Amino acid sequence: MPEKNIQSIGVEIEHLSKRFGEQVVLDDVSFSVKPGEIFVLMGPSGAGKSVLLRHLVNLEKPDAGRVLIGGKDADDDATHSAIRTALVFQAGALFNSMSVFDNLAFYPREHRLYDKATLRDKVEHVLKILHIEDAARKLPAQLSGGMRKRVAIARSLVMEPQLLLYDEPTSELDPITAANISEIIGTLKEEFAVTSIIVSHDRDLALGIADRVGLLMAGKLLTVATPDELRASTEPAITEFMRPKIDVHNPRFRRLA
Amino acid sequence: MNTARNILEVIGSSLTLLLRAIGCLPRLPRQLGRVFEYSFQIGYLTLPIVAVLSFFLGAVLALQTGYSLDFGGGQELIGRVVGLAMARELAPLITAFLLAGRVGSAITAELASMTVYQEIDAQRTMQVPPERIHVMPRLVAILFMMPVLTIVAILIGWFGGAVVSEHVSFIGLDPTAYWANLKSVTEFKDVLNGLIKAEVFGLVIVLIACNQGLITRGGPREIGHSVTNSVVSSMFMVLLIDYCLTRILM
């Protein structure tokens, strides 16, 4: 049911820097994402991943450098009118006073995209893809964590985005629900022409569905590699992040003290 | 120094919000549903409490005036005092204070909660700015509802004065004399004066309420602080503007 003429788009991050007060959050970060690619940006908490994602949807302005989506500056409102970009927020950011159906219908209704019947069909189609048809009449407060994530993804899919961004889509979920969400994200490109950028520190998600993975540490991009390259890497910083060993006899907090 | 800077920042962000909301006015036809919804919330649901309070305000005003004049005669002047005071000052002021407490606080709480829980960010990413769906329709709604609420407050305040003038024993003023005296001095321009004030108060209250909600950062405690700030700032600004307008409209 998605429109067939919608094309996925590429993303270029060029020398992006951002600071909040004295704290440098992003320091000269550059990488690109190809159209249709699933790109996972990993890194420890506070590395600047979510801030980078917010630059892509113009919720943050760069201090230096620029972000291009589909060759256009993400800093410009007109870009987001021309290119459909959707962000799945970490906590869902569902509209709590609306039912799940109305959450999904919000974007098309506000932009008067379809008549009532088409809108209902589009929403029901997406609900079906994510197996949440039964939740349509419920309020977000009545949903479990996993359901809320799925509804948040569904709301983004109704927008038929060319660029779909996810902020920690599997955080706070049990392993099976997390795997389910990862599979949903990984198989969406069968149905939708969409470029996906996922911010996460879920190794299973990154190694399982990513075409490429970027590793961001303390605001700097450490590497961009395929999942196989990451698995094979012997770089200490990468192995420490990807395969940390738990040593209660010599814990990190004592080593770092 | 910090307080002064904060006040200037809030004034600046409120004015920016107002300009952005004005920029969304061409979209008004698509937002009529929200204008009606907010008009209902602002007007219909506030009307009963406005009516009750203005009745008692008019009644107390008549009582105090009657008590003061009891020593020197001239009870018939009660109509004049209640008529002018309600139309020019008290009706717009009591309506504004009620609006700040009841509607302003609710608007700030709703928008602050939506901001803190990233609902506003989600709407921005959908190219639906808050000025278009939350601010502009509320400003239009208050423009329509404030005169209605104020006229109701004026009329019921006058009526409250009449009831007290007639039924309180030490006043015992004939209603015909009360209304005749009221009509003899209260002109349309006095009511218009009150309506102009009310419109300005309403716009300021809604603007401050929306701005406070949208600039909220943090969690539940900050939502509470924003609501308090919204009500206190609105009341302060209403009194400040009231003085300025009264001087201008005299």
Q: Which of B30, B119, B127 lies nearest to residue A93, judging by beta carbons?
A: B119
List every span in chain A annotated with CATH 3.40.50.300.
Answer: 1-84+160-226
What residues of chain A lie within 8 A of the CB of B27, using their CB? none
Q: Give me the mean pLDDT over the B35-46 stretch.
A: 92
Q: Quick check: helix, strand or coil at residue A31?
A: strand
Residues A186 and A179: their CA atoms lie apart, in Å, by: 10
pLDDT band at A233 (very low <50, low <70, confident <90, very high): confident
**Which CATH fold topology does A1-84+160-226 show?**
Rossmann fold (3.40.50)
Q: Residues 3..22 of A with a Cβ closer than 8 Å to B: which?
A: none
Show residues of chain B in contact with A111, CB under 8 Å: 127-128
- Asked if B25 has any chain A CB less than 8 Å from its own CB, the reply is no
Question: Which pLDDT does position B204 carry in this prediction?
Answer: 96
Backbone phi and psi for residue A236, each to the nearest 5 degrees, phi listed first: -55, -45
- Both structure tokens of B199: 């419109």
**Chain B hits for A58, Cβ within 8 Å:** 124
Asked if B125's CB is within 8 angstroms of A57's CB, the reply is: yes
Calpha distance A149→A168 (Å, rounded): 10
B125 vs A: CB within 8 A? yes
Is the pLDDT at A257 greater than 70, yes or no?
no
* Chain A contact for B185 (CB, 8 A cutoff): no
Yes or no: say if B166 and B91 are a contact pair by the CB < 8 Å rule. Answer: no
Q: Considering only CB atoms, which chain A residues are within 8 Å of B127?
A: 77, 80-81, 111
Q: What is the mean pLDDT of chain B?
A: 92
What is the predicted pLDDT for the residue at A197? 95
Predicted confidence (pLDDT) at residue B180 exceeds the cutoff of 60: yes
- The more confidently predicted of residues B7 and B190 is B190
Average pLDDT over residues A165-172: 89
Q: Do A107 and B30 touch (CB under 8 A)?
A: no
A67-77 per-position pLDDT tens digit: 999 999 999 98
pLDDT for the residue A189: 77
pLDDT at site A249:
82
CB neighbour class for A233 (10 Å; exposed up to 12, middle 13-18, buried from 19): middle
Query: In this complex, is the C-beta atom of B174 within 8 Å of any C-beta atom belonging to chain A?
Result: no
Contact A159, A122 (CB under 8 A): no
Q: Residue A156 is encoded by which pair of tokens? A: 């983004």
Q: For residue A246, give the DSSP letter.
A: P
> Do residues A101 and A140 touch, judged by C-beta distance below 8 A?
no
Q: What is the model's pLDDT at position A218? A: 87
d(CA B245, CA A251): 69
Predicted pLDDT at A62: 95
Q: What are phi and psi of A127, to 5 degrees?
A: -60, -40
Note whether A83 contacts B: Cβ–Cβ < 8 A: no
Distance CA A195, CA B153 (A): 58
pTM of the model: 0.88
CA dihedral angle for residue A3, residue B122, residue B21, residue B135, rounded to 10 degrees: 120
Which among A212, A172, A173 has a CA at the least distance from the CA of A196? A212
Q: Which long-range contacts (CB under 8 A, 24 or more apart) does B163-168 make?
A: B163/B55, B163/B59, B164/B58, B164/B59, B164/B60, B164/B62, B164/B63, B164/B66, B165/B62, B165/B66, B165/B75, B165/B78, B165/B79, B168/B62, B168/B63, B168/B66
For B105-136, write each residue's pLDDT tens digit.
Answer: 999 999 999 999 999 999 999 999 999 999 99
Q: Which residues of A touch B33 (CB under 8 A)?
A: none
- A9-59 pLDDT, tens digit per residue, is 899 999 999 999 989 999 999 999 999 999 999 988 888 999 999 999 999
What does each C-alpha distance from B172 to A118, B62, B185, B232 come to in angstroms?
70, 11, 21, 40
pLDDT attached to residue B6: 77
Q: What is the side-by-side strand order in the sheet with A163-167? A: A85-88, A163-167, A195-199, A38-42, A212-217, A220-225
Q: Is the Cβ–Cβ distance between A39 and A212 less than 8 Å?
A: yes
Of A59, A80, A93, the CB nearest to B117: A93
From the list B129, B106, B80, the residue with the least C-alpha distance to B210 is: B106
Share of chain A above pLDDT 90, in %: 59
Q: Do residues A88 and A166 make contact, with C-beta atoms less than 8 angstroms apart?
A: yes
**Structure confidence at residue B179 (pLDDT):** 92
pLDDT for position B170: 82
CA dist A93 and A130 (Å) reads: 18
**Tokens in use for B144?**
């329509």
pLDDT at residue A6, as a whole number: 66
d(CA B138, CA B135): 5
- Across B187-206, average pLDDT: 95
Say if residue A89's pLDDT is above 90: yes
With beta carbons less than 8 A apart as the criterion, state whether A42 and A212 touch: no
- Compute the distance between CA of residue A146 and CA of residue A141 in angstroms, rounded to an integer: 12
Is the CB of A106 inside 8 Å of chain B's CB atoms? yes
Secondary structure class of A251 (helix, strand, coil): coil
B78-85 and B175-185 helices, crossing angle to 10°: 50
**CA distance to partner chain A, nearest, from residue B31 (Å):** 9
Complex confidence, ipTM: 0.88
3-state secondary structure string across chain B: CHHHHHHHHHHHHHHHHHHHHHHCHHHHHHHHHHHHHHHHHHHHCCHHHHHHHHHHHHHHHHHHHHHHHCCCCCHHHHHHHHHHHHHHHHHHHHHHHHHHHHHHHHHHHHHHHHHHCCHHHHHHHCCCCHHHHHHHHHHHHHHHHHHHHHHHHHHHHHHHHHHHHHHCCCCCCCHHHHHHHHHHHCCHHHHHHHHHHHHHHHHHHHHHHHHHHHCCCCCHHHHHHHHHHHHHHHHHHHHHHHHHHHHHHC
* Mean pLDDT along residues B50-67: 93
Spell out the alpha helix ranges (H) of A70-222.
77-82, 100-110, 116-129, 145-158, 175-191, 203-209
| Mean pLDDT for the stretch of residues A59-86 | 92
Nearest CA in chain B to A157: B126
CA B211/CA B220 separation, integer angstroms: 17
- Say whether residue B127 is in contact with chain A using an 8 A CB cutoff: yes
Whose CA is closest to A148, among A110, A100, A109, A211?
A100
Contacts of B223 in chain A (CB under 8 A): none
- What is the structure's pLDDT at B87? 94
Instruction: Report how far residue B136's alpha carbon sits from residue A122's, in angstroms, rounded to the nearest whole number.
Output: 30
**Is the confidence at residue B182, as pLDDT, over 60?**
yes
Q: What is the pLDDT of residue B168?
A: 85
Residue B239 has pLDDT above 70, yes or no: yes
Pick from B30, B114, B118: CB nearest A89:
B118
Amino acid letter for position A250 = N
pLDDT band at B73 (very low <50, low <70, confident <90, very high): low
State the pLDDT at residue A118.
95
Nearest chain B Cα to A161, which residue? B126
Q: Do B117 and A96 touch (CB under 8 A)?
A: yes
